[in-house]
Amino acid sequence: MNNFSLYNPVKIHFGEGQIKQLSTEIPKDAKVLISYGGGSIKANAVYQQVIDALQGHAYIEFSGIEPNPEYETCMKAVALIKKEKIDFVLAVGGGSIIDATKFIVAAVDYEGKDPWDILAKGAEVTSAIPYGTVLTLPATGSEMNAGSVISRREFGDKLAFDSPHVFPKFSILDPVTTYTLPIRQVTNGIVDAFVHVMEQYLTYPANAPIQDRFAEGILLTLIEEGPKALENPKDYDARANIMWCATMALNGLINQGVPQDWATHMIGHELTAMYGLDHAQTLAIVLPNIINYKRDKKEAKLLQYAERVWNITKGNTNERIDAAIEKTRAFFEAMGAKTKLSGYDVDTSKLPDIVSALERHNMVALGEHKDIAISDSKKILEMCI
Amino acid sequence: MNNFSLYNPVKIHFGEGQIKQLSTEIPKDAKVLISYGGGSIKANAVYQQVIDALQGHAYIEFSGIEPNPEYETCMKAVALIKKEKIDFVLAVGGGSIIDATKFIVAAVDYEGKDPWDILAKGAEVTSAIPYGTVLTLPATGSEMNAGSVISRREFGDKLAFDSPHVFPKFSILDPVTTYTLPIRQVTNGIVDAFVHVMEQYLTYPANAPIQDRFAEGILLTLIEEGPKALENPKDYDARANIMWCATMALNGLINQGVPQDWATHMIGHELTAMYGLDHAQTLAIVLPNIINYKRDKKEAKLLQYAERVWNITKGNTNERIDAAIEKTRAFFEAMGAKTKLSGYDVDTSKLPDIVSALERHNMVALGEHKDIAISDSKKILEMCI
């Protein structure tokens, strides 16, 4: 096991009815900004539950945060917070709303000239105003981590930052809030969580059996519970287990002391920035091809994955690995995700542009061995068509 | 899954050489009390590493904290802290040192008449002075939780308290510090961690597959790594994995949203308080008999445990459960723990005294169904002889 440092102070309130905890978790004297997206929280009961729990608090709202949240949108919220002297932000929504809120609370306190530098130049975040979240879309794990991804369409950029200053003070996870999600978002959430786990697990053995088994435990649970949620959207336990899977998949636990391979995310980000694919749609396409392309260096873990997650114990090494990759792809398809770029009208003519973007963003040495060069990414993308 | 709230702000620095992190984790202007036990940290390199890392800090020492730490000892440390105006305590040792330190930092700030009330009457802890830990004995999980058990021999008591105010600010886990542990303590640590997991897992199904798989992952890892550590005390990875198992076994993660059964601990505490058995020695004796005695109500989880942890898939229900209990007992014995009270000269003549103590401590409704009455504990103890 490699050395590691672990710190995660996010308080989680999990379960039906937990939104009422807002009344005590947010300081009484705080002036609150509620940040949210396109208004789906008003179509279900979430918005009303939040407002009810905030009785006695002063609050205003900022809506319109889009999927793959946009820098310009975030900066409008920053201006509003400064103008209205907001003390606390409450993000209500999925990973995009929470990621945007992380950047907003950091940018409000940023003392440099241009908050864009936090994303583009890795400028250090030294403080942020406090915030909490009400999660309505289990997928990204953003509700229990300190990372954020922000897009700037004018530049074709999708960039990440992280800082211990942007952990949520609390996150409320009520599985009932996910009953009314569109199927596409349920699919995306399951795929996103699954791929997050794979990127922290499917590398090479590091003598870290707990981390391996926790990762396998999340994968097995997603495989069991995903179909139940699609079949019966009001299956509380399936929704609860998927929600907890998504949080545990990226809250900084299973990656401790082990190598990681975020190549799928890095390549996927370009596809989202350039062609508007949903984040998880890109992951379902790229991941199977990356583990196929790197099957030699990932052999030991691929065999372990084949056996422990898919119960594949017959055949030679190549046959087992083929079967495991095929099972992975079939799972994504069964969850409703396409696994080919051609399914989204992205054909080989687009490859040079994608490769250029990877180069421009310095994605020249990806993977756990930093051995996925631009030429490798090009080959992987060809396999994705 | 049941509703839950999860909060754990302990920062973990894990791995060889991490003790040097003390120099930055403890505030420079703090006056530090180093709390430790009988001096084993001076026989290995731990004490020296701690002192080296504390160069530039003002510190004094308080040694002599005993296994199953004593209330009177803790109160001497409280007096010293007040006299010397200590700002920060650094606990260096195992669960006993850390548990004692938790009580000490709470008692220093306690405003009621008698700090014993924290343990005996559940008096609320509303603040505590800050502390960190350097763990040298993986076993109790105390380094990453907010619970503590303190003994008072004059009363024959061993009582627990917990409070979010007594989470360590940080804990340093360097597996190398465990190379020189006496075999008895290695045995105790493995058994303690194993039983902690069982008490949060071996109840009844609660539709919480992640929690189940995490629990099973820790058990499987202890079963794999335990023998390696006993065979080769300087096997870094085995030591590291056992250390991380012990922390994950009781840091408040695997118990979220599921029923729990702490009957083994409650009965075991009396055996320690009355006859001086090591904590883990009591657990190795009591646990197999409790799961045997409650085999009907635990049937579903016992069958799951048999299959997933011990790969027992043949035989009828009773045969599988018998085999799983026998495997559990055999594992404890293989790790060096006796599984009968008679191995410690406690015979049937002592049972009335033990039963009286349980009654006096109000241990009249134990287990996940609160259906282990005093008469049941008596029968379980008879099975333990």
pLDDT of residue A44: 85
Q: pLDDT at position A129, please?
A: 97
Predicted pLDDT of residue B44: 85
Q: Quick: pLDDT tens for B236-265.
A: 999 999 999 999 999 999 999 999 999 999
- Cβ contact, residue pair B217, A218, below 8 Å: no
With beta carbons less than 8 A apart as the criterion, state whether B30 and A18 touch: no
Comparing CB atoms, the residue among A4, A18, A241 nearest residue B3 is A18
How many C-beta atoms surround the C-beta of residue A42 within 10 A? Answer: 12
Closest B-chain CA to A214:
B214
User: Which of B2, B5, B247, B251 to probe by mutation at the A interface, max A CB count within 10 Å?
Assistant: B5
pLDDT values of chain A reduced to their tens digit, one per residue, 385 residues: 999 999 999 999 999 999 999 999 999 999 999 999 988 888 888 999 999 999 999 999 999 999 989 999 999 999 999 999 999 999 999 999 999 999 999 999 999 999 999 999 999 999 999 999 999 999 999 999 999 999 998 887 888 999 999 999 999 999 999 999 999 999 999 999 999 999 999 999 999 999 999 999 999 999 999 999 999 999 999 999 999 999 999 999 999 999 999 999 999 989 998 899 999 999 999 999 999 999 999 999 999 999 999 999 999 999 999 999 999 999 999 999 999 999 999 999 999 999 999 999 899 999 999 999 999 999 999 999 9
pLDDT band of B39, cuts 50, 70, 90: confident
Phi, psi of B150 (to 5 degrees): -125, 145
Closest Cα partner for A204 from A299, A126, A269, A290?
Answer: A299
Rounded to a whole number, what is the largest CA-CA distance in chain A? 66
DSSP letter for B65, please: P
Q: Which of B194, B357, B180, B160 is nearest to B291 (CA)?
A: B194
Residue B23 has pLDDT above 90, yes or no: yes
Q: What is the DSSP string of B136-164?
A: -S-SS-GGGSSEEEEEEGGGTEEEEEE-G
Q: Give one DSSP letter per residue of B308-333, joined into a string.
A: HHH----S-HHHHHHHHHHHHHHHHH
Pinpoint the residues of chain B covered by CATH 3.40.50.1970: 11-177
Amino acid letter for position A270 = E
Pairing state of beta strands A4-6 and B11-14? Answer: antiparallel
Residue intervals in chain B for CATH 1.20.1090.10: 183-384
Q: What is the mean pLDDT of residues B211-215?
A: 98
- pLDDT tens-place string over residues A88-128: 999 999 999 999 999 999 999 999 999 999 999 999 999 99
Token pair 């139940």 in the structure block, residue: A228
Write the residue in B1, B4, B241 that is nearest to A210 by C-beta: B241
- Residue-wise pLDDT tens digits, B322-353: 999 999 999 999 999 999 999 999 999 999 99
CA A1, distance to chain mean position in Å, is 25
Answer whether residue B206 shows pLDDT above 90.
yes
CA distance A15 to chain B (A): 4
Q: B237 vs A14: CB contact, 8 Å cut-off?
A: no
Joined tokens for residue A131 = 């915030």
Residue bearing tokens 């940018």: A107
The CA–CA distances, whole Å, from A355 to A195, A213, A267, A360 equal 22, 35, 9, 9
Q: Which two tokens stand for residue A154?
A: 């004018």
Residue B322, CA distances (Å) to A149, B239, B318, B328, B383 in order? 52, 31, 6, 10, 15
Rg for chain A, CA atoms, rounded = 20
In this prediction, residue A273 carries a pLDDT of: 86
Q: Nearest Cβ partner of A3 from B18, B218, B248?
A: B18
Q: What percentage of chain A exceeds 90 in pLDDT? A: 94
Beta-carbon separation of B214 and A213 below 8 A: yes
Grouping H, G, I as helix, E, B as strand and the rest as coil, residue B171 is: strand
Strands (DSSP E) contained in A8-80 are: 11-14, 31-35, 58-62
Report the SS3 class of residue A18.
helix
Class of A183-384 per CATH?
mainly alpha
Say what the pLDDT of residue A98 is.
Answer: 98
Q: What pLDDT is recorded for position A378?
A: 97
Spatial distance between the Cα atoms of B299 and B302, rounded to a whole number of angstroms:
5
Whether A36 and A96 have beta carbons less than 8 Å apart is answered as: no
Contact by Cβ (8 Å): A214, B214:
yes
CB contact under 8 A, B244 and A12: no
Contact A109, A81 (CB under 8 A): no
Q: Tell me the three state secondary structure of residue B193.
A: helix
> Are B199 and B262 spatial neighbours (Cβ–Cβ below 8 Å)?
yes
Into which CATH architecture does domain A11-177 fall? 3-Layer(aba) Sandwich (3.40)
The DSSP line for A20-32 is GGHHHHS-TT-EE
The residue whose two tokens read 């409450």 is A90
Summary count for chain A: helices (H), strands (E)? 15, 9
* A210 contacts on B by Cβ (under 8 Å): 217-218, 221, 241, 244-245, 248
How confident is the model at residue A153, as a pLDDT? 87
Give CA–CA dist A79/A97, Å, rounded: 17
For residue A217, the distance in angstroms to the closest alpha carbon of chain B comes to 5
| Tens-place pLDDT, residues B79-89 | 999 999 999 99
pLDDT at B316 over 90: yes
Residue B157 confidence class, pLDDT cut points 50, 70, 90? confident
pTM: 0.97
Best probe of the A interface among B135, B144, B213, by most A CBs < 10 A, is B213
* Nearest-Cα residue of chain B relative to residue A11: B7
Are A137 and A95 a contacting pair, CB within 8 Å? yes
Question: CB-based contacts of A104: which residues, under 8 Å, 6+ apart?
Answer: A35, A74, A77, A78, A81, A89
Q: What is the interface size between A and B, counted as CB pairs within 8 Å?
A: 126
- Tell how strand A147-152 and strand A157-162 pair up: antiparallel
- Strand, coil or helix: what is A35? strand
